[in-house]
Structure 1
Amino acid sequence: MYVAAASDEMIDRSGRLRTAWVPVMEAAYTIGPDELARRAVSLNRQMHLAAPFGASTAREYDPLPAPLTAMEFAVLEVALAQRARLLNAALEDLYGPQTLLRDGTLPPSLVFSSPHFIRSLHTVQKLAVPRMTFYAADLIRGPHGGFQLLRDHTGIIPGLGHALSLRRLTAGTVPEIFRAGGLRSLRPARDMLTDHLHREAQGGLVAVLSARAASPAEAQDMTDDALLARALGVLLIEPGDLAARNGALHMKTLSGLLRVATLIRGLSGIELDPLEQGGRPDAGVPGAFGAVRAGLLALLNMPGSGLLEGPAFAPYLESLFAPLLGETPLLERAAAETAPSHAPFVNGAALESRPMMFRLFAWHDGQGWQVLPGGLGFGISSQAAPLGNAGVKDLWVLEAEEPHFIAGAAPAEPPARPTFLAAANLPSRVADNLFWLGRSVERLEAAARLLMLALPRLESGTSLPRDAAERRLISRCLAQAGLLPADLSGGAVSGRLLRSALVRRKPVAGLLKEVSRLVNAASERLSPSMLATVRFALNQASEALPDEENALPSILSFAATFAGIAAENMLRDGGWLFLEMGRRLERGETLAEGLSLLLDGPPERLEPGLGLGIELADSVLSYDLRHAGILAPAPVLAMLLADAGNPRSLAYQCAVLCNCLKRLGADDDAEATRQLQHRAVELAGAATELRPALAAIAADLRLLSDHVQRRFFTLLPEAHQLEDQETLEAAQ
């Protein structure tokens, strides 16, 4: 049962349903309370999956929107544009001529004592872009139906990413409400904002600057930054992705340094430039303020713009309208005792009346202020702050009877893209994480396969020559993989000794922890559903620990899940190339090193190693079908080394690596990989001196990994000797 409050968004004073809420509530009653509760759970699950980097969100999202009429929004649109003009003019003055301080309109002690006033950004000339490009206002509806201002947001704008993304997910959760129609679309405004950002960037990079979360509040901000980047179709980057060169900021990408023209700031201005503000260099971007002053970087909003958000400035802002704009304020500030209006929120199978705050957003398009025809509604307990667990709603603006057009400048041409790489604009940090994620998953799978093969054989008490030979080979492979101490390799190792070493050293747990870390680090390149599937399989494997033996099947299940997602869900471009290279390099190196140990001996003594090699490569069934299970060097080597159709063969790994490197423009490394493939095929015809040849291939694969690291991640030139440098200088 819903109990209306004295001032209610849904019920008017006569107790009737307001016109704007009629289609919403009709659809809600059609859905039914139980189903509506399930839809609310589904919406929250989708928003949780949309959170990047594994950031958990404490917010509750409500499927019922909060509608505003076209007339109400028209009044608010003019009032918010006026207030945005005032706040931007005040910031331009405080960081410029400081007329407001000289004539006493604002007390200097109020400004200079604020930690949000950044002295190094005080400039004589105006900056290339306004100090405040984005603006948000928190409003409540008072007892008499008019809107009143709670607070301004002039620094980091919280919630814009949610405002641009929540409607899409809500529409998929409760389509019955949206079928009622009559609401104004966000798409034209969003497209106009995107065009403006790219036009002002003049071909430079536009990105959202975020930071890794250290607290639940920062996790909420990080989620909003990621949603904003997705909604605008721009990159989400971190301070570590940026470097200052020649006075400008550049992003470290796979094609080198790419100049950054515009950053939408999700990082505090106080921490942004440790070179001038102090602090840890890895927490900010040294040189950012210099690029701003030189006009080579637009930070939206500019650092220091959060100065006017402080409550100490609130009593003075109303007095600035006359000197700065020559106008009277259109939006009054809410008094402390003003009670906000209430709205219905889904609470289980019932609707609950809660106080609500509105948040509307605006941006400067180069000529004037545009207000987003939508926003967010927050359930609150007081005027102090919105409570995440009190609900977050999509804010609707209903369409007027007449068509509504948003006019702006002509659409900007998309910026020119570098033609060098299939993943040219991929940050080197992301490519590095994906590359090592691929390697770590393969390393984990190889360790699990080796242990599953080793444990039953080492427990066998038979003393047959073949069994003893297998145990010696297995112990050497375990030591090489780091699963057994090196001093035990080649000896008589028992299953109990291996289990004791696993309990003491916990190598599988360490590999699993590294995979989990890299999944989180690379999660921005995985869709929400992909990330949820990978994490579910990874959690199952982690829960099976500390009993590492029982965890082995779960680990293999996780590896299969991961490989399936990479094969079927990822676009064969960009980050997938580096994930695939990491997997193939690790699988090829592990196979070459393992076979170099297993096939170390004359042809007449290779049978134990041949059988173990087929099992470790998970090719037992294929070999049995082809060769009736009869072990012989020639067919085994052909399957493990030269078979281009076997995804576990060495030639297959080299072929995939060669293709990836060609697509990334690394033709020299691709040619070296092709030569490795030929060597593997030729080696399949030999049955003697296999160990040195296979060890050499493994060493070349490690060298190739170093080349990939140098070329794409560290961005260093090739090493050369001093004599080469002297010869080059003499030639010049």
Structure 2
Amino acid sequence: MQDRQGRTRSPWAPVAAAIREVGNEELARRAAALNRQMGLAAPLGPLAARVYDPLPVPLTAADFTVLEEGVKQRATLLSQALEDLYGPQSLLQIGKLPPTLVFGDPYFLRPLHTHAPLPTPRLALYAADVIRAPDGRFLLLRDHTGVIPGLGHALTLRRLTNGTLPELFRAGGLRSIRPAREMLVDHLQREAEGGLVAVLSGGVAKNQANHDSFDDALLARALGVLMIEPADLATRNGALHMKTLSGLLHVATLIRGVSGIDLDPLEQGGRPGSGIAGAFGAIRAGVLSVLNAPGSTLLESSALRPYLQELFEPLLGEPELLRLAGDADMALASVAPFLSPDQEIVKAPLCLRLFAWHDGLDWQVLPGGLGLPLTTAGAPSGLGIKDLWALDSDEPRMISGAPPAEPPEHVKFLAAAHLPSRLADNLFWLGRSVERLEAAARLLMLAIPRLESGTSLPRDLAERGLITRCLGQAGLLPPDVAGFAISGRLLRQTLARRKPIAGLLKEVGRLVDASSERLSPSMLATVRFALHQASEALPNEETALPTMLSFAATFAGIAAENMSRDGGWLFLEMGRRLERGETLAETLAILLAGPVGRLEPGMTLGIELADSVLSYELCHAGIIAPGPVLAMLLADPSNPRSLAFQCNALRACLERLGADDDAETARQLQQDVTNQAGSVTGLHATLEATSAKLRLLSDRVHRRFFTLLPEAHTLEENEILEAAQ
């Protein structure tokens, strides 16, 4: 930042002036805002705490030109070396590279050794970490040739920093990264020829130290492509496909966010569920492009680095532009200003990470990148990631890429049809889990005061017996005590021992994380805040019940007002309606069992559990009678808690998903419960049958959309004979 005389260097002068203008206190607030914005930029599960520094790292046009040429040269060298190691292996034959280091490295994947080159370069993305020496030269610290870390951050941090600290950008002269990003997107789509381009991530559950799922999510959003997991993919007829609601969708290009060692368990001997069986075969056949190809991490080996450095003259015919950094160089690495955790500006060694990709003709370098705090002895801890600036020169710059061509015709993308089946399954069960949590909270809020009353009036005894059976049906009481009228103390002891609400809340949290890619940042922040409040109210499950209802109401409002009515919302809504319908039918079957003269306690409890007390009082003056109660709980199409409403909502969802036969089943169920509202006779059996039909409908939904299996049927004699032959 400063020269030997202590004067501020030219690229840092506008930054220093902006810092003085903003002031330390406001700068700290802007830094906190930037960190919040980055946390919301691509929500994905419970993320480790990250720190982002609002102070950029500016490079002059001359400095960036030096780095650009050095990165291009090194990427070209590594690409040629990689193609040779997985092809003719001439470098091994003439002794330029030691075979023991290559074949003994776990990242050398023998199944990817082919005599002919792959249709696409094995090394298509590259990142280099460099430091600046005291004499001003840039030195190479490490290569990234496998999973490229931080590219999603580099494409996102600039945009959010501009919105958080616009004072830094007033001086101008900064090269935009938008044209480079658009060139990369255009190249990926052209290479895919209308096929699917996606970022392959290991997911939250498999997030490893070097495989950052959060960066994968940022990269997918920055490039406008899907982020998928290995469980979303399957190999059919030698090609890779994504499992969607409409069947299998061909995948043309994957940007790899998982280790190549774990990519194909069939050929690498891994666990069957940890990768994509047959992926290597699709790569060898040329029907799948993976950026970067499995096995490219071999070039990151520190043992091979000195030998690779000797290949510039033999392969490229020119000397190296980026010399390797040694231990002494790291100790003398150039320092830069950082905003420390206590909001003070401190100096620390700096590492620059630059990114490049191959556009089919040449290597392109992103005019930006990341500034990372270099971990050395005595360096401050807790420092953040910076945005790297490349200042523009006075001369006009011509941006060129692949020659213009007619863009391929893209497959029409239907959100409902092309929704990954894994994600649809998660959203479906998220809806069911939230409804289970709400139903359990409502039932316990109704049960605790009644079971603690201690009165012995016949009506109170009848209510307690019904409530106990409902608690057992909901799984809140063990079967051995669910058939008897228990005391409030026993209920409290059972809740303290079994902790059913905590288990339901934990499952909801897991599914929220698993479905987070279909929730916008603001939606996810609101849901997680309400979920955190509900978790904080535990372990006292009794006092936490109102908080559970508050969370359920927040979630329902978010789903109703913020989610677009595409495939994600349809499966969330379908899960909610199926769960609410099953629970209501099972509960009413218990509450409305018995002769007509003894139904009043059960009807009263049913109205309360359905949260329809106010509506009933306004319509019927609070007079409990079978006809009005059944009409409100079973047949009222305007009551969101009635059974007919759930069946109608299910029918609408299934019709939009093209499941006409299941939609007809839901319509018939609605008609049946509407007809039953006019008669009390046989109500218990009808409600139990309705609950069984809803469970069967849930199984059919699973078979149709999630497991993608045909309908089960009994084999005829001719089919048995054909199978035997």
TM-score normalised over the length of structure 1: 0.94
| Residue among 654, 661, 675 paired with 1:661 | 654
The answer to which of 527-536 and 470-479 deviates more is 527-536
Could you tell me how far apart the structure 2 residues matched to 1:717 and 1:673 are?
Answer: 20
Relative to 1, partners in 2 of residues 1:316 and 1:490: Cα closer, same or farther, differing over 3 Å? closer
Could you tell me how far apart the structure 2 residues matched to 1:503 and 1:59 are?
Answer: 36
The answer to which of 318-327 and 558-567 deviates more is 318-327
Q: Secondary structure at the match of 1:389?
A: coil
Q: Secondary structure at the match of 1:126?
A: coil
Given that 1:27 and 1:176 are in contact with CA atoms closer than 8 Å, whether structure 2 keeps it comes out as yes
Q: Which residue of the partner structure matches residue 228 of structure 1? A: 219
The amino acid of 2:85's aligned partner reads L
Q: Which residue of the partner structure matches residue 576 of structure 1? A: 569
Q: Which residue of the partner structure matches residue 94 of structure 1? A: 85
Could you tell me how far apart the structure 2 residues matched to 1:211 and 1:702 are?
Answer: 33
The amino acid of 2:716's aligned partner reads E
Deviation at 1:553, TM superposition (A): 1.0
Residues 609-664 of structure 1: CA distance to partner in whole angstroms, max 9, x if unpaired? 11111110111111112222111222222221222221111121112111111111
Residues 142-163 of structure 1: CA distance to partner in whole angstroms, max 9, x if unpaired? 2122222111111111111111
Given that 2:149 and 2:210 are in contact with CA atoms closer than 8 Å, whether structure 1 keeps it comes out as no
| Residue among 33, 37, 46 paired with 1:46 | 37
The answer to which of 102-111 and 711-720 deviates more is 102-111
| Residue among 56, 73, 76 paired with 2:67 | 76
The answer to which of 366-375 and 107-116 deviates more is 107-116
Residues 56-95 of structure 1: CA distance to partner in whole angstroms, max 9, x if unpaired? 2343210011111222222322221121111100111111
Q: Which residue of the partner structure matches residue 614 of structure 1? A: 607
Given that 2:195 and 2:411 are in contact with CA atoms closer than 8 Å, whether structure 1 keeps it comes out as no
- Alignment of 1:451 onto 2:444: yes
| Residue among 549, 563, 584 paired with 1:556 | 549
Deviation at 1:725, TM superposition (A): 7.3
Could you tell me how far apart the structure 2 residues matched to 1:226 and 1:206 are?
Answer: 14
Could you tell me how far apart the structure 1 residues matched to 2:256 and 2:407 are?
Answer: 24
Q: Which residue of the partner structure matches residue 6 of structure 1? A: none
Could you tell me how far apart the structure 2 residues matched to 1:112 and 1:283 are?
Answer: 24
The amino acid of 2:691's aligned partner reads A
Could you tell me how far apart the structure 2 residues matched to 1:645 and 1:175 are?
Answer: 50
| Residue among 304, 308, 321 paired with 2:312 | 321
Deviation at 1:447, TM superposition (A): 0.6
- Alignment of 1:714 onto 2:707: yes
| Residue among 161, 185, 191 paired with 1:194 | 185
Given that 1:198 and 1:415 are in contact with CA atoms closer than 8 Å, whether structure 2 keeps it comes out as no
Q: Which residue of the partner structure matches residue 243 of structure 2? A: 252
Deviation at 1:220, TM superposition (A): 6.3
Residues 674-696 of structure 1: CA distance to partner in whole angstroms, max 9, x if unpaired? 11112222222223221111111
The amino acid of 2:104's aligned partner reads S
Q: Secondary structure at the match of 1:461?
A: coil
Deviation at 1:500, TM superposition (A): 2.3
- Alignment of 1:355 onto 2:349: yes
Could you tell me how far apart the structure 1 residues matched to 2:260 and 2:485 are?
Answer: 63
Q: Which residue of the partner structure matches residue 116 of structure 2? A: 125
Could you tell me how far apart the structure 2 residues matched to 1:512 and 1:633 are?
Answer: 36
Residues 117-153 of structure 1: CA distance to partner in whole angstroms, max 9, x if unpaired? 1112111001011010001111112212222211111
The amino acid of 1:202's aligned partner reads E
| Residue among 496, 511, 522 paired with 1:503 | 496
Relative to 1, partners in 2 of residues 1:68 and 1:593: Cα closer, same or farther, differing over 3 Å? same
Q: Which residue of the partner structure matches residue 513 of structure 1? A: 506
Residues 244-264 of structure 1: CA distance to partner in whole angstroms, max 9, x if unpaired? 211122211111111211111
- Alignment of 1:365 onto 2:359: yes
Runs of 4+ in 1 over 6 A off after TM superposition: 727-730
The amino acid of 2:19's aligned partner reads A
Given that 2:348 and 2:380 are in contact with CA atoms closer than 8 Å, whether structure 1 keeps it comes out as no
Q: Which runs of 5+ in 1 are unaligned?
A: 1-9
Deviation at 1:222, TM superposition (A): 1.5
Relative to 1, partners in 2 of residues 1:411 and 1:553: Cα closer, same or farther, differing over 3 Å? farther
Q: Which residue of the partner structure matches residue 396 of structure 1? A: 389
Relative to 1, partners in 2 of residues 1:484 and 1:609: Cα closer, same or farther, differing over 3 Å? same
The amino acid of 1:208's aligned partner reads V
Relative to 1, partners in 2 of residues 1:238 and 1:140: Cα closer, same or farther, differing over 3 Å? same
Could you tell me how far apart the structure 2 residues matched to 1:616 and 1:270 are?
Answer: 53
Q: Which residue of the partner structure matches residue 13 of structure 1? A: 4
Q: Which residue of the partner structure matches residue 473 of structure 1? A: 466
The answer to which of 541-550 and 97-106 deviates more is 541-550
Relative to 1, partners in 2 of residues 1:113 and 1:69: Cα closer, same or farther, differing over 3 Å? same
Residues 17-37 of structure 1: CA distance to partner in whole angstroms, max 9, x if unpaired? 222122222222111101101
Deviation at 1:299, TM superposition (A): 1.1
The amino acid of 2:88's aligned partner reads P
Could you tell me how far apart the structure 2 residues matched to 1:487 and 1:265 are?
Answer: 52
- Alignment of 1:264 onto 2:258: no
Could you tell me how far apart the structure 1 residues matched to 2:376 and 2:47 are?
Answer: 25
Relative to 1, partners in 2 of residues 1:644 and 1:416: Cα closer, same or farther, differing over 3 Å? farther
| Residue among 276, 287, 299 paired with 1:296 | 287
Deviation at 1:440, TM superposition (A): 0.7
- Alignment of 1:156 onto 2:156: no
- Alignment of 1:426 onto 2:419: yes
The amino acid of 2:349's aligned partner reads P
Could you tell me how far apart the structure 2 residues matched to 1:651 and 1:474 are?
Answer: 24
Q: Secondary structure at the match of 1:311?
A: coil
Relative to 1, partners in 2 of residues 1:487 and 1:106: Cα closer, same or farther, differing over 3 Å? closer
Given that 1:710 and 1:716 are in contact with CA atoms closer than 8 Å, whether structure 2 keeps it comes out as yes
Given that 1:60 and 1:388 are in contact with CA atoms closer than 8 Å, whether structure 2 keeps it comes out as no
Could you tell me how far apart the structure 1 residues matched to 2:408 and 2:420 are?
Answer: 19
Q: Which runs of 5+ in 2 are unaligned?
A: none
Deviation at 1:422, TM superposition (A): 4.5
Q: Which residue of the partner structure matches residue 278 of structure 2? A: 287
| Residue among 370, 374, 377 paired with 2:368 | 374
Residues 237-289 of structure 1: CA distance to partner in whole angstroms, max 9, x if unpaired? 12222222111222111111112111111111122222121221222222111
Could you tell me how far apart the structure 2 residues matched to 1:135 and 1:383 are?
Answer: 28
The amino acid of 2:287's aligned partner reads L
Deviation at 1:443, TM superposition (A): 0.6
Q: Which residue of the partner structure matches residue 7 of structure 1? A: none
The amino acid of 2:621's aligned partner reads A
Q: Which residue of the partner structure matches residue 4 of structure 1? A: none
Relative to 1, partners in 2 of residues 1:102 and 1:454: Cα closer, same or farther, differing over 3 Å? same
The amino acid of 1:398's aligned partner reads L
Q: Which residue of the partner structure matches residue 602 of structure 1? A: 595
Could you tell me how far apart the structure 2 residues matched to 1:215 and 1:242 are?
Answer: 16
Q: How does 1:716-731 map to 2 (within 5 A)?
A: 716-723=709-716, 726=719
Q: Percent identity?
A: 69
Could you tell me how far apart the structure 1 residues matched to 2:678 and 2:139 are?
Answer: 84
Given that 1:525 and 1:575 are in contact with CA atoms closer than 8 Å, whether structure 2 keeps it comes out as yes
The amino acid of 1:159's aligned partner reads G
Given that 1:199 and 1:412 are in contact with CA atoms closer than 8 Å, whether structure 2 keeps it comes out as no
Residues 178-222 of structure 1: CA distance to partner in whole angstroms, max 9, x if unpaired? 233321211111111111112111222211111145688538611
Q: Which residue of the partner structure matches residue 168 of structure 1? A: 159
Given that 1:439 and 1:586 are in contact with CA atoms closer than 8 Å, whether structure 2 keeps it comes out as yes
The amino acid of 1:184's aligned partner reads R
Deviation at 1:581, TM superposition (A): 0.6
Deviation at 1:441, TM superposition (A): 0.7
- Alignment of 1:85 onto 2:83: no
Given that 1:136 and 1:361 are in contact with CA atoms closer than 8 Å, whether structure 2 keeps it comes out as yes
| Residue among 346, 362, 378 paired with 2:339 | 346
Relative to 1, partners in 2 of residues 1:594 and 1:415: Cα closer, same or farther, differing over 3 Å? farther
Could you tell me how far apart the structure 1 residues matched to 2:6 and 2:461 are?
Answer: 88
Could you tell me how far apart the structure 1 residues matched to 2:578 and 2:268 are?
Answer: 43
Could you tell me how far apart the structure 2 residues matched to 1:180 and 1:671 are?
Answer: 65
Q: Secondary structure at the match of 1:556?
A: helix
Relative to 1, partners in 2 of residues 1:708 and 1:724: Cα closer, same or farther, differing over 3 Å? farther
Could you tell me how far apart the structure 1 residues matched to 2:243 and 2:700 are?
Answer: 17
Could you tell me how far apart the structure 2 residues matched to 1:452 and 1:58 are?
Answer: 37
Deviation at 1:543, TM superposition (A): 2.6
| Residue among 691, 703, 709 paired with 2:684 | 691
